[in-house]
Amino acid sequence: MTTVEFRTAGALEDAEKWTAHNYHPLPVVVASGEGAWVTDVDGRRYLDCLAGYSALNFGHRHPGLIAAAHAQLDRITLTSRAFVHDRFAEFCQGLAELCGKDLVLPMNTGAEAVETAIKVARKWGYRVKGVPDGQAEIIVAAGNFHGRTTTIVSFSTDPDAHADFGPYTPGFVVVPYGDPAALAAAITPNTVAVLLEPIQGEAGVLVPPAGYFGEVRELCTLQNVLLIADEIQSGLGRTGRTFAIEHENVTPDMYVLGKALGGGIVPVSAVAADRDVLGVLKPGEHGSTFGGNPLACAVGAEVVALLRTGEFQERSAALGERLISGLEALIGEGVVAVRGRGLWAGVDIDPALMTGRQACERLAARGILAKDTHGSTIRLAPPLVITEADLDHALTEFAAVLAGN
CATH 3.40.640.10 fits 75-308, yes or no: yes
Distances (CA, A) of 244 to 198, 216, 234, 248, 258: 6, 15, 6, 8, 14
When pLDDT is averaged across residues 45-62 and rounded to a whole number, the result is 98
Neighbour-count burial for 248-277, b at 16+ CB within 10 Å, e otherwise: bebebbbbbbbbbbbbbbbbbbbbbbeeeb
* pLDDT digit string, tens, across residues 321-360: 999 999 999 999 999 999 999 999 999 999 999 999 999 9
Least confident interval from 1-5, 107-111, 132-136, 309-313 = 1-5
| Topology (CATH) of 3-62+311-402 | Aspartate Aminotransferase, domain 1 (3.90.1150)
259 is catalytic: yes
Average pLDDT across the chain, whole number: 96
155 is catalytic: no
Q: Which residue of the set 40, 48, 230, 348 is catalytic?
A: 230
How much is the pLDDT for 291? Answer: 97
Least confident interval from 4-8, 110-114, 390-394 = 4-8
pLDDT of 26 strictly over 90: yes
How much is the pLDDT for 374? Answer: 87
pLDDT of 164 strictly over 60: yes
129 is catalytic: no
**Secondary element (H or E) of residue 230:** strand 226-230
pLDDT of 1 strictly over 50: no
88-99 vs 294-308: helix crossing angle, rounded to 10: 40
Domain 3-62+311-402 and domain 75-308 have a common topology: no
Q: Which residue of the set 259, 290, 390, 398 is catalytic?
A: 259
Q: Which residue of the set 58, 88, 91, 145 is catalytic?
A: 145
* pLDDT digit string, tens, across residues 63-101: 999 999 999 999 999 999 999 999 999 999 999 999 999
Distance CA(368)–CA(44), nearest Å, equals 11
CA atoms within 13 A on the CB side of 18: 6
How much is the pLDDT for 6? Answer: 65
In the chain, what are the domain boundaries? 3-62+311-402, 75-308
pLDDT of 28 strictly over 50: yes
Distance CA(286)–CA(218), nearest Å, equals 30
Q: pTM of this prediction?
A: 0.96
Residues 6+ apart with CB under 8 A from 240: 247, 313, 314, 316, 317, 320, 341, 342, 343
